Amino acid sequence: MSPPPADSDDVWLHCSACRRDLRFGQIHWVCSVSTCNRNRMRLVFCSVACWDSHVADARHRDAWAVEAQAPSRDAWRAEQATEASAARRRRAPPAAAPRAVITAPSPPPSSPAGRPAASSPPRPPRPPAPRSPTASTARS
Ligand SMILES: [Zn+2]
Ligand SMILES: [Zn+2]
Domain ranges of the chain: 11-91
Is-contact 55 102, C-beta < 8 A?
A: no
Average pLDDT over residues 96-108: 67
Average pLDDT over residues 91-112: 66
**Confidence class of residue 121 from pLDDT cuts 50, 70 and 90?**
low
Q: Is 25 exposed, middle or buried (0-12, 13-18, 19+ CB in 10 A)?
A: middle
Residue 107 CA to ligand 1 centre (angstroms): 65
pTM over 0.85: no
Residue 23 CA to ligand 2 centre (angstroms): 21
Over residues 63-100, the pLDDT tens digits come to: 999 999 999 999 999 998 998 999 888 876 666 666 66
Residue 40 CA to ligand 1 centre (angstroms): 19
Over residues 5-54, the pLDDT tens digits come to: 455 679 999 999 999 999 999 999 999 999 998 877 789 999 999 999 99
Average pLDDT over residues 92-109: 67
